[in-house]
Chain A
């Protein structure tokens, strides 16, 4: 089998079991060249195992991995043009920062002068030249992280794997490193496959997100599409906040409590996702937007979160909607809400 044009790495029907439990089941993903792909999932979703299969530390039980027309899963890890930034960095404690970064080049018997110049450039790129002679233990977590990235990137791999590299950093440093990783990826033009359990991190960094759930691919899409068009209730509620609406359908109209909207589905019952920020609170006299649907409701609770306020509005029996309003909400307890029907997304399950 070949890899299609523009695709760097093709994972084809990969299954992996540990004993009786299937960690990955028939996973197929195409990673495009120069993209920033994030594998997102809870712990136990198989995301790290997937990364380890690409790196070569695990063998798939079935399925294949191809890189640019070359079978990858049969090669040992040291013969793959792939490098990894490990979760706990895995820097060699007995070697200086310089020697850590030079390790991969020395392993491939690259000429001494070239090793020096490439390592120096990589250290400069990650802004850690001043630490070249230090040991990893003498560096902070953020600095160690930079060494780990430099050590991998200096080899100019076709694909860089990052296994939750930011999880050990505190919130501020983490946001800073996210921005820097994203910029770095654009600068070096290397494909990044990034594993995380943090949906916000996935949204910020990625060109595309692979959402894994219990070893299966739940959805692969751009952050925008996965947020606006979640395919399943799991995808809808894992990424961002949402209202899951279990609606009855009759005569091409779906109905939940007092809320009613047009729906093409032929089923009698269906599940929908509606983001809290897609619901508007309108003044009584305000004209309706084109095809907007409205209903009356009672505000049951209010949670102030800074930039916005999250309300729970009850619209008839069984319809308790989370509504996000910007700024502070000063309206009375009885309100009218309005929704654009196209923002109500039908879900597969």
Chain B
């Protein structure tokens, strides 16, 4: 056994890490959210005004709803792309499995910014898509609504977060013993029944994990809306950024951040609980 002193010593670095980078910043964040700004200065007076403003001013709520809508679409799109891809790779490929897997992973090594910029060149009014559409005569004039819109944000974020959805689903599919598929067929189940009764339930932890990843990361994203969102594609993090920057209203920014934090925490514990319940559905 290790000595008591040793055990206490090794616990110090993680504790210091958590304190410096998590506990203290959160404490600051929550404190700020109850303070206020008066004549360009932050006053340390406790108030709920920031939270009241969030509810009273429809701008914040509508941006939050838009963010949730975009994050939701990204999640659904990433699932629609990631699940079939993971299923195909796990169940239908043999020799080419590794190469295909690498092809999915490689984009993760490319900088986020580069990938976001790529969509600018695709969707812009002089972009790849518009050039193609006008060249083939499908459009007479380049479409302006493609870039700087919620659609552009959704596409960009889907591109960026699909691998995050793919990976956990792929991992849980790979963990399904192939004997179970054979057992299902052996018991007379069709391919569709085998999928819905065996493969999908066993892949569900991966699906929930991937979906949570995509939703939470998209919800808090601020670079994609900044680069390709335009005025109609603004998301909640952009509001926070501007409140902490030009608007110099740290307390309100902190209040929004605190709300987001609680929302995301609730979401994660919710999916966790859902997964547990599904796992013990008929065990009771």
Contacts and interface: CB of A to CB of B under 8 A. Distances in A.
Nearest to A83: B186
Interface in A81-121: 82-84, 86, 88, 90-96, 98-99, 103-104, 107-108
Interface string B177-197: 101101111111110010001
Contacts of B193: 107
Contacts of B281: 94
B283 A90 contact: no
B201 A86 contact: no
B282 interface: yes
B279 interface: yes
A46 interface: no
A83 B189 CA distance: 12
A240 interface: no
B38 interface: no
Contacts, number: 74
Interface in B147-205: 177, 179-180, 182-190, 193, 197-198, 201-202
A91 B184 CA distance: 10
B52 interface: no
Contacts of A94: 201-202, 279, 281
A133 B283 contact: yes
Given A103-B189, A104-B187, A133-B282, A90 B202 contact: no
Contacts of B198: 92
B179 A88 contact: yes
B179 A86 contact: yes
Contacts of A165: none
A9 interface: no
B274 to A, nearest CB: 14
Contact of A78 (B177, B186, B202, B284): B186
Which of A56, A84, A93, A94 has its CB near the most chain B CB atoms (within 10 A)? A94
Contact of A107 (B179, B188, B284): B188
Nearest to A52: B182
B184 A103 contact: yes
Given A90-B177, A92-B180, A94-B201, A135 B185 contact: no
A91 B187 CA distance: 11
B190 A78 contact: yes
A78 B282 contact: no
A55 interface: yes
Contacts of B202: 93-94
A10 interface: no
Contacts of A95: 282
Nearest to B197: A103
B268 to A, nearest CB: 22
Nearest to B190: A78
A155 B186 CA distance: 11
Contact of B188 (A93, A104, A134): A104
Contacts of B283: 96, 133-135
A78 B189 CA distance: 6
A76 B194 CA distance: 14
A108 B188 contact: yes
B182 A83 contact: no
A151 interface: yes
A76 B185 contact: yes
Nearest to A154: B187
A104 B186 CA distance: 8
B239 to A, nearest CB: 42
Contacts of A92: 180, 183-184, 197-198
Contacts of A76: 185
A81 B197 CA distance: 21
A135 to B, nearest CB: 5
A189 B177 CA distance: 32
Given A78-B189, A90-B177, A84 B183 contact: yes
Which of B182, B201, B284 has its CB near the most chain A CB atoms (within 10 A)? B182
A103 B180 contact: no
Which of B177, B187, B281 has its CB near the most chain A CB atoms (within 10 A)? B187
Given A78-B190, A107-B189, A57 B182 contact: yes
A91 B186 CA distance: 12
Which of A56, A90, A151 has its CB near the most chain B CB atoms (within 10 A)? A90
A78 B179 contact: no
A92 B283 CA distance: 13
A276 interface: no
A90 B202 CA distance: 14
Interface of B: 177, 179-180, 182-190, 193, 197-198, 201-202, 279, 281-284
23 contacts: A55-B182, A55-B186, A56-B186, A76-B185, A77-B185, A79-B188, A84-B182, A84-B183, A86-B183, A90-B179, A90-B180, A90-B183, A91-B183, A92-B198, A94-B201, A94-B202, A94-B281, A104-B188, A107-B184, A107-B189, A151-B187, A152-B187, A155-B188
Given A92-B183, A133-B282, A152-B187, 5 more contacts: A56-B185, A78-B190, A90-B183, A107-B188, A155-B187
User: 9 tightest A-B contacts by CB?
Assistant: A104-B187, A90-B179, A90-B183, A107-B189, A77-B185, A107-B188, A96-B282, A78-B185, A84-B186
